């Protein structure tokens, strides 16, 4: 395996267990590269990569960098003082950003890149599953697992490559897709963007990379996306297809009918009406499916077949994923960590809950995001019947003085929410089990390790009598 721009025949991935990095490592391993890497801890993802022949070390050390390494692949999360990165620079081994590696993998394929502040993983997954269902054998790289560790990427024999395009560090500027999807444009990633204007400029640059004669599929419902449409309107070699419930949408969502944990979607496309099922709840997931439909059609996939195939998508890990049921209480996991995502998932679960209550245990993600969006997060939590808020998950950040989960809790109370703090992570399962009663839905929400609480909540529910 070799690439003209970046030598990827023997890559070493620092942080190989991450969602984006592991997918690229998997594709390269399947293509015949000699893959190595390191990660902070053992995981199912690491074990899945070893089964593909990758050499993976636990922990970071200079001696983990194999002799003969052709390049070192890093993400923006890797610190400059990482010992393997320092060793690579000392030895003159080229350092390649994850986005450059992904761009190299997409070379020679009909690339479809999915961007937006929210919904990227779900929409990319919908396309990957539906195109595979149609026998088109796409390659794909997704920021989350479909159904098992290692299912976030695939090397397919077909000509289509579907990729999640990350705006957080502007790395999506590296791609040159034939079709681009922009689901929404909002201010996030405050460590890298100082204003909404910088976000707009970044997305405009991304769209400017679409190949001449290519297509932009963009939301007609979100103001930030509509602003992007206005900004690129003068480009003669770009086909723009707007999607959404707005009356002026090119592909219009006419109805989304909730049926428990599924939705029936009616759209108008090219003067024809299509009705299809989305096997995950919520209006925002239905709109993601319609964007996927429009993008597939732009690549020449027949609309009716693709609409039917979209029904084969049953979800991605951590995106409203049912973890189980105990004593009549369902526990569902949500990756939502931005207020818009939080509100969308809570509204979707509200529709699915029927007469039951929605209880959420929320773990804020990043000090910078909490500092900027605490008020909006609190307002989103008011959509639940009861909330437990954990301490902030720092990820790559150092603490910011005065920024704690209490900012969110105070905002939630101002919005009328029933909310409480829980500083002891290990105590949270028992707290939720004590609150829940038959018919309720419990949501574990956040981008950190709150996902680990699902099985523990189920175990706690099995051990205690439900609340009455």
Intra-chain end-to-end CA distance of the chain, in Å? 61
Asked if residues 24 and 153 have their Cβ atoms less than 8 Å apart, the reply is: yes
Catalytic (active site) residue 204: no
Cβ-count burial 5-26 (b if 16+ within 10 Å, e if not): ebbbbbbbbbbbbbbbbbbbbb
| Catalytic choice (34, 45, 69, 121) | 121
Q: How many residues does the chain have?
A: 468
Instruction: Say how far apart CA 230 and CA 359 lie, in whole Å.
Output: 40
What is the DSSP annotation of 70-112? -EEEE-TTS-TT-HHHHHHHHHT--EEEHHHHHHHHHTTSEEE
Give the CA distances from residue 206 to residues 139, 159, 173, 175, in Å, rounded to whole numbers and listed in that order. 21, 22, 5, 8
Q: How far apart are CA 429 and CA 49, in angstroms?
A: 31
Q: How far apart are CA 379 and CA 38, in angstroms?
A: 40
Give the span between the Cα atoms of 59 and 40, in whole angstroms: 5
Element (H, E) at 370: helix 367-381
Given 120, 174, 277, 422, the catalytic residue: 120
Q: How far is CA 317 from CA 144, 259, 277, 332, 421, in A?
A: 7, 21, 20, 10, 26
- DSSP letters for 303-332: HHHHHHHHTT----TTEEEEEEEETTEEEE
Respond yes or no: is residue 120 known to be catalytic: yes
Distance CA 284, CA 435 (A): 28
- Give CA separation, 61 vs 17, 85, 88, 93, 283, in Å: 16, 9, 11, 16, 46
Q: Which of 258, 218, 6 is nearest to 116 (CA)?
A: 218
- Number of Cβ within 10 Å of residue 386's Cβ equals 19
Helix (H, G, I), strand (E, B) or coil at 378: helix
CB atoms within 10 A of CB 36: 22
**Contact partners, residue 88, CB within 8 Å, separation at least 6:** 12, 65, 69, 72, 94, 95
Q: Which of 26, 84, 117, 164 is catalytic?
A: 164
Active site residue 308: no
Between the alpha carbon of residue 420 and those of residues 188, 195, 392, 423, 433, the distances in Å are: 26, 32, 14, 10, 15
- The catalytic residue positions are 120-121, 164
């Amino acid at each position: 395996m070799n690439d003209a721009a970046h030598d990827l025949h023997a890559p070493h991935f620092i942080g190989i267990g991450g969602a984006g990095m592991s997918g690229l490592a998997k594709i390269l391993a399947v293509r015949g590269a000699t893959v190595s890497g390191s990660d902070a801890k053992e995981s199912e993802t690491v074990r899945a990569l070893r089964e593909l022949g990758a050499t993976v070390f636990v922990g970071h050390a200079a001696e983990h960098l194999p002799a003969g390494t052709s390049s070192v692949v890093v993400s923006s999360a890797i610190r400059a003082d990482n010992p393997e990165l320092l060793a690579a620079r000392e030895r003159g081994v080229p350092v390649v950003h994850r986005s450059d590696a992904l761009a190299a993998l997409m070379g020679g394929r009909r690339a479809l890149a999915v961007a937006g502040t929210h919904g990227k993983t779900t929409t990319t997954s919908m396309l990957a599953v539906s195109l595979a269902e149609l026998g088109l054998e796409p390659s794909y790289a997704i920021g989350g697992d479909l159904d098992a560790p290692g299912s976030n990427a695939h090397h397919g024999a077909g000509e289509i490559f579907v990729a999640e395009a990350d705006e957080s560090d502007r790395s999506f500027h590296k791609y040159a897709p034939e079709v681009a999807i922009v689901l929404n444009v909002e201010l996030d990633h405050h460590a890298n963007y100082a204003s909404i204007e910088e976000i707009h400029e970044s997305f405009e640059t991304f769209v400017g990379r679409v190949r001449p004669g290519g297509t932009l599929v963009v939301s007609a419902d979100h103001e930030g996306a509509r602003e992007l449409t206005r900004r690129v309107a003068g480009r003669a070699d770009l086909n723009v297809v707007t999607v959404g419930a707005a009356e002026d949408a090119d592909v219009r969502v006419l109805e989304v009918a909730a049926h428990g944990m599924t939705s029936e979607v009616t759209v108008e496309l090219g003067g024809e009406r299509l009705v299809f099922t989305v096997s995950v709840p919520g209006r925002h997931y239905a709109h993601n499916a319609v964007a996927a439909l429009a993008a597939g059609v732009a690549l020449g996939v027949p609309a009716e077949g693709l609409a039917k195939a979209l029904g084969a998508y049953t979800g991605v890990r951590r995106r409203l994923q049912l973890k189980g049921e105990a004593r009549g209480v369902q526990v569902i996991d949500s990756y939502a960590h931005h207020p818009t995502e939080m509100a969308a998932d809570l509204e979707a679960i509200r529709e699915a809950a029927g007469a039951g209550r929605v209880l959420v245990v929320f773990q804020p993600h990043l000090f910078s995001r909490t500092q900027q969006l605490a008020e909006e997060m609190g307002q989103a939590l008011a959509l639940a019947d009861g909330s437990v808020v954990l301490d902030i998950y720092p990820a790559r950040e150092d603490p910011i003085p005065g920024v704690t989960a209490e900012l969110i809790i105070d905002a939630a109370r101002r919005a009328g929410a029933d909310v409480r703090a829980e500083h002891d992570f290990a105590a949270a399962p028992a707290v939720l089990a004590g609150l829940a009663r038959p018919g309720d839905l419990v949501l574990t929400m956040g981008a950190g390790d709150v996902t680990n609480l699902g099985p523990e909540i189920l175990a706690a529910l099995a051990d205690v009598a439900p609340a009455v």
